Amino acid sequence: MKNRFNDLTGKEWLPFQKSFTHFTNFGDLYQENIRFFTKPSNELTPVALFSGSSSKEILFQSLCEKYKIHYGINNLDYIYIDLTDELINLQTKDQMESWLLITVNEIIGYSSKLLHRKFISILINNINIQGKYYPIAWELSNRLAQHYTRKDEKIICRKKNQEPFINLYFRKDEDSAFNTAISPSDLWNSIPDTTSISSIQTHPNWFMLRPKPRKKDEILHPAKYPEELVSLYLNTYSKKGDNVFDPMSGTGTTQVESLKLSRNGYGVELSSMFHSIAVNRCAQVDSNSNQWSLFEGDARNWTDGKFPTFDYIITSPPYWDMLNMQGAENQALRKKKGLQTNYSDNEKDLGNIDDYYSFLNDLVKLYISIITNLKEGGYFTIVVKNIKKKGKIYPFAFDLVSKLSPSCTLSHVGYWCQDDLRLAPYGFGNTWVSNTFHHYCLTFKKMN
Ligand SMILES: C[S@@+](CC[C@H](N)C(=O)[O-])C[C@H]1O[C@@H](n2cnc3c(N)ncnc32)[C@H](O)[C@@H]1O
């Protein structure tokens, strides 16, 4: 097939597909984006534009020259907007709001200059001021999604305790009015400006894990999270003797790691198969004097009094009904091996709700009810991904933040990046679709 999108071979195309990358310098970052999103040709030279500081613009122009791309302002094939320098001076939510209004308008203004089906990349980061987390990048993403088609995002990992950059990708195309159906101010309005949090500064902002191979019974579960992830979070957000809870325990990873680290582990799981795997795993841990109990059933019906007050909650929900989507590579592979591809066919399984907003509302209701049993000042971590379905992006992680923020305050976002998965050349020759290899670990704090 003739490559209509850029001049990269599959070998060069693949590494760009990963939804995270390591930051070395701005030149390398701009260069790989220019290479990916433009296609130099003798007849029709593509035109690119940069917006950002003047020294970075000179850098971008020199890269355009190197790749035989015109630098211009009209009939644009590609726009790169670097906002990272502008964020440095924003200290209050009011300042951030004024900046957002101006910036969104400027970016909408590019629409008349950008050619049909061409991309805009925006480099930005969320802002953490003294333990208060302002997801300004996600808010910009939500607002722009009302005008352009939100195509993808890529995490640009800097030093472990530096907030990662996020490269947002939008396209001007026939779907560009697609409304994500959350009003643009939902996320932002839900973030209170006044609360200040004494947060834990040492937790890494992004991390890779090399999980041990899963045991025979653990493989039966299609989406177990690694022990290493749970222990990383338990060590930061809980202490020995604490009560740790997971309302959707799966194979009991949360409880097993809690017991190993001398915490008490409590949970609920709907599937009887996963529940009994979890019970067996817990029973095998030498728990000393620590307690554990796991209920089988619908977490939405868990009743007060069954558990002591929680000191810490860590959990990962079904990623909507994605496991019911046939054709995903991983699903096909599991099917071939005779393994279960979804959690269950039970209608109470939240992963079987096919309407996104019903799914989100049920999940949020459940989370709000368990937060009532979390001690004041306690933390709650949710491991989650945004969801790509049938060419559209559902910002599941951002939506959880906006819906939960009245009940607790977002205090940290850790990006778990997976570098041990096989890359697939999605969209090869045609468009940009990344392999989503990052999860958001959203940590909230329950305030008085
Ligand atoms: C992402 S998995 C959790 C995996 C778990 N963290 C582990 O490491 O094994 C989500 C779990 O939620 C369970 N689940 C779905 N709907 C539920 C409900 N209504 N009540 C309780 N559990 C439910 C599924 O059976 C599945 O095991």
Nearest CA residue ID for atom 26, ligand 1: 250
| Same domain (yes/no): 149, 263 | no
For ligand 1, the distance from its centroid to the CA atom of residue 317, given in whole angstroms, is: 6
Which atom of ligand 1 is nearest to 278's Cα?
9
| Same domain (yes/no): 220, 185 | no
| Same domain (yes/no): 242, 173 | no
β-pair partners for 156: 21, 165
**Looking at the domain assignment, is residue 3 inside a domain?**
no
**Mutate which of 219, 269, 383 for ligand 1 pocket (most atoms within 8 A of beta carbon):** 269
| Same domain (yes/no): 250, 347 | yes
Which domain-ending residue is among 190, 217, 250?
A: 190
Which atom of ligand 1 is nearest to 343's Cα?
25
For ligand 1, the distance from its centroid to the CA atom of residue 262, given in whole angstroms, is: 23
**Looking at the domain assignment, is residue 324 inside a domain?**
yes
By DSSP bridging, strand 374-384 and strand 310-315 are parallel
CATH number at residue 261: 3.40.50.150
Residue 180: what pLDDT? 52
**Phi, psi angle pair for 438, to nearest 5°:** -125, 145
Nearest CA residue ID for atom 7, ligand 1: 224
**Looking at the domain assignment, is residue 200 inside a domain?**
no
Closest by CA to 287, choosing from 252, 259, 253, is 259
**Looking at the domain assignment, is residue 325 inside a domain?**
yes
H helix count then E strand count, the chain: 14, 19
| Same domain (yes/no): 216, 86 | no
| Same domain (yes/no): 255, 174 | no
Domain count, the chain: 2
**Looking at the domain assignment, is residue 425 inside a domain?**
yes
| Same domain (yes/no): 240, 353 | yes
Which residues have CB under 6 Å of ligand 1?
Answer: 221, 223-225, 248, 250-251, 253, 268-271, 274, 298-300, 316-318, 343-344, 348-351
Q: What is the pLDDT of residues 133-190, one digit of tens each?
A: 899 999 999 999 999 999 999 999 998 889 999 999 999 998 887 655 455 558 888 8
| Same domain (yes/no): 307, 422 | yes
**Looking at the domain assignment, is residue 198 inside a domain?**
no
Which domain-ending residue is among 190, 225, 243?
A: 190
Residue 326: what pLDDT? 59
For ligand 1, the distance from its centroid to the CA atom of residue 274, given in whole angstroms, is: 8
| Same domain (yes/no): 110, 255 | no
| All residues at 6 or more sequence positions from 62 whose CB lies less than 8 Å from its CB, including other chains | none
Closest by CA to 411, choosing from 201, 139, 162, is 201
| Same domain (yes/no): 122, 221 | no
Which domain-ending residue is among 190, 221, 241?
A: 190
CATH number at residue 15: 3.40.50
| Same domain (yes/no): 175, 217 | no
Residue 328: what pLDDT? 62
Closest by CA to 124, choosing from 106, 136, 111, 116, is 136
**Looking at the domain assignment, is residue 68 inside a domain?**
yes
Nearest CA residue ID for atom 16, ligand 1: 349
**Looking at the domain assignment, is residue 275 inside a domain?**
yes
Domain coverage including residue 382: 206-445
What is the phi-psi region of residue 68: left when phi exceeds 0, alpha when psi lies from -120 to 50, beta otherwise?
A: left
Residue 129: what pLDDT? 83
Q: What is the pLDDT of residues 233-257, one digit of tens each?
A: 999 999 999 999 999 999 999 999 9
Residue 238: what pLDDT? 97
| Same domain (yes/no): 158, 223 | no
Residue 427: what pLDDT? 86
Residue 80: what pLDDT? 98
Per-residue CA distances from 247 to 28, 355, 372 (Å): 43, 22, 13
Which atom of ligand 1 is nearest to 274's Cα?
27
- The parts of the chain modelled with pLDDT lower than 50 are 181
